[in-house]
């Protein structure tokens, strides 16, 4: 086995998952080489990361931000190449000398570089669940054809993955169904009648996890779990009825596999993304993650509840989208992305997120052929966003 460092690209390195990834990397000098980084907005943090990890390439979305980084990088005397735009992201993710790609961009914007990494046969660490929700079969085909190794980073999917044998061909015979756990978010016990008054600040205050804004709102509506059901369908090749959700407010059991013989395998840990990130980075080995350890002696009780459909209507949309016409999951994702952005901007209320999602899924026909390509998915994503924007105009 080669002892050279694993060459790693982090897409979305300035976000919550991106910074946690660099935190794990920094604990293992010599094991990883940071080959590339990218950020959408946080130029100062990206520069700090350049100084510390000296990547060969960084990618920014606009020439203006790139120019600022280029000047600062030159001043620091670094050889980092600063590139611009979506195509540069794809090229960085597929570059020949790159071993692994951490996909930590939020939203469908992460799909093109994920596909590029998959087609180039990389070890692909997938946090960016929206990319798989939108990409579906096309994404999984790219992984198979490119010979990529797809490693789930979402904590629930990492848990399932850790409970399964390394030999994927044994999965179908082993799994009866899986149980995704959900914390229930900040409004688990709040009177559903008052949910329309929720503010963005209340919605992003998650009781157990510190995360980016979009996934925090998704956790409050439980659309995050809906997206995770769709993500699990593709990662583990399951039928919708094989994916169950249970509320587990303590977020200690990260998910479970119920085997054909009735045996239940679970993965436990403190709620810290550094654990699934470290596993993705080191698989099939295990390395220090830096996460606090579970203390059984002082652990609170572990409790379980069924999800309340009145409080969390979004969960049913996952099943509806999985059973709907091809492309329905991409439509649902697009509606949710624009609805969450509008809620965070203060233009729609919290419960309107669900109306926008349900009505877009119901009202827009995806018209996607079985032989669709990336461009067809991106076009569908644009149409669904426009449809949802129009619905929101009518709501106001
Ligand atoms: P975040 O908002 O903290 O970070 C997102 C990153 O993506 C940032 O670096 C940002 O600059 C970049 N980005 C945003 N929009 C972009 C665009 N249009 N083009 C290119 N880059 C863009 O998000 P996060 O919480 O780190 O989540 C990242 C992904 O991981 C999401 O898909 C989320 O669902 C998933 N995830 C996150 C957690 C968590 O604990 N944060 C857990 C499980 C899964
Ligand atoms: Mg998750």
Confidence class for position 2, pLDDT limits 50, 70, 90:
low
For residue 284, tell me if it sits in a domain.
no
Residue located via tokens 């350049």:
50
- CB-based contacts of 206: which residues, under 8 Å, 6+ apart? 183, 185, 186, 216, 219, 220
Nearest CA to ligand 1 atom 16: 40
For residue 374, tell me if it sits in a domain.
yes
Using CA atoms, how far apart are residues 199 and 202, in angstroms rounded to an integer? 5
Co-location of 299 and 236 in the same domain: yes
Co-location of 110 and 183 in the same domain: no
Co-location of 166 and 302 in the same domain: yes
Check whether 354 has a pLDDT greater than 90: yes
Co-location of 90 and 101 in the same domain: yes
44, 215, 216, 378, best to mutate for ligand 1 pocket (most atoms within 8 Å of CB): 215
Ligand 1 atom nearest to CA at 41:
11
Check whether 69 has a pLDDT greater than 80: yes
Q: Give the end of a domain, one of 153, 179, 200.
A: 153
Co-location of 163 and 306 in the same domain: yes
Check whether 322 has a pLDDT greater than 60: yes
Co-location of 149 and 160 in the same domain: no
The residue length of the chain stands at 396
* Count of domains for the chain: 3
Q: Which residue range(s) make up the domain with 92?
A: 6-153
127, 130, 135, best to mutate for ligand 1 pocket (most atoms within 8 Å of CB): 127
Using CA atoms, how far apart are residues 240 and 278, in angstroms rounded to an integer? 29
Using CA atoms, how far apart are residues 86 and 92, in angstroms rounded to an integer? 10
Co-location of 37 and 124 in the same domain: yes
Co-location of 143 and 251 in the same domain: no
Co-location of 31 and 122 in the same domain: yes
pTM: 0.98
Distance 357 CA to ligand 1 centre (A): 21
Strand ranges, E, within the chain: 6-11, 32-38, 57-60, 81-84, 100-103, 123-126, 149-152, 175-182, 243-247, 253-259, 264-268
Which tens digits make up the pLDDT trace of 17-64? 999 999 999 999 999 999 999 999 999 999 999 999 999 999 999 999
Co-location of 186 and 259 in the same domain: yes
pLDDT on residue 395: 82
Co-location of 253 and 365 in the same domain: no
Ligand 1 pocket by Cβ (under 6 Å)? 12-18, 39-41, 61, 104-107, 109, 127-130, 154, 209, 211-212, 214-215, 273
Question: What CATH code is carried by the domain that includes residue 329?
Answer: 1.10.1740.10
Q: Which ligand has an atom closest to residue 58 CA?
A: 1
Distance 151 CA to ligand 1 centre (A): 17
Q: How many CB atoms lie within 10 A of CB 74?
A: 12
For residue 211, tell me if it sits in a domain.
yes
Co-location of 30 and 143 in the same domain: yes
Distance 65 CA to ligand 2 centre (A): 31
């Amino acid at each position: 086995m080669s002892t050279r460092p694993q060459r790693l690209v982090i897409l979305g390195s300035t976000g919550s998952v991106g910074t946690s990834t660099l935190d794990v990397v920094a604990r293992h000098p010599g094991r990883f080489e940071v080959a590339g980084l990218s950020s959408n907005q946080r130029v100062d943090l990206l520069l700090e990361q350049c100084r510390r990890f000296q990547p060969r390439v960084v990618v920014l979305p606009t020439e203006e931000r790139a120019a600022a980084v280029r000047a600062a990088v030159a001043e620091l005397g670094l050889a980092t190449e600063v590139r611009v735009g979506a195509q540069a992201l794809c090229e960085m993710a597929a570059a020949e000398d790159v071993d692994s790609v951490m996909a930590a961009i939020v939203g469908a914007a992460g799909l093109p570089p994920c596909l590029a990494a998959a087609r180039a046969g990389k070890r692909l660490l997938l946090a960016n669940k929206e990319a798989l929700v939108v990409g579906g079969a096309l994404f999984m085909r790219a992984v198979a054809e490119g010979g990529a190794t797809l490693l789930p980073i979402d904590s629930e999917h990492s848990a399932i993955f850790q409970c399964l044998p390394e030999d994927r061909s044994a999965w179908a015979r082993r799994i009866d169904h899986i149980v995704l756990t959900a914390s229930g978010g900040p409004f688990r016990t709040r009177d559903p009648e008052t949910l329309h008054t929720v503010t963005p600040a209340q919605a992003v205050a998650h009781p157990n996890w510190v995360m980016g804004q979009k996934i925090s709102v998704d956790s409050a509506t439980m659309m995050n779990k809906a997206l995770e059901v769709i993500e699990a369908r593709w990662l583990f090749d399951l039928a919708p009825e094989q994916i169950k959700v249970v509320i587990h407010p303590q977020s200690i059991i990260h998910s479970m596999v119920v085997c054909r013989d009735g045996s239940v395998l679970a993965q436990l840990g403190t709620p810290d993304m550094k654990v699934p990130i470290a596993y993705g980075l080191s698989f099939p080995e295990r390395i220090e993650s830096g996460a606090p350890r579970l203390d059984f002696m002082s652990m609170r009780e572990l409790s379980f509840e069924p999800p309340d459909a009145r409080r969390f209507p979004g969960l049913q949309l996952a099943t509806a989208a999985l059973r709907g016409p091809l492309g329905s999951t991409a439509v649902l994702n697009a509606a949710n992305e624009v609805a969450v952005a509008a809620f965070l901007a203060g233009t729609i209320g919290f419960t309107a997120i669900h109306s926008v999602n349900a009505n877009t899924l119901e009202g827009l026909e995806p018209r996607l052929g079985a032989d669709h390509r990336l461009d067809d998915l991106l076009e569908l994503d644009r149409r669904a966003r426009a449809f949802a924007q129009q619905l929101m105009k009518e709501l106001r």
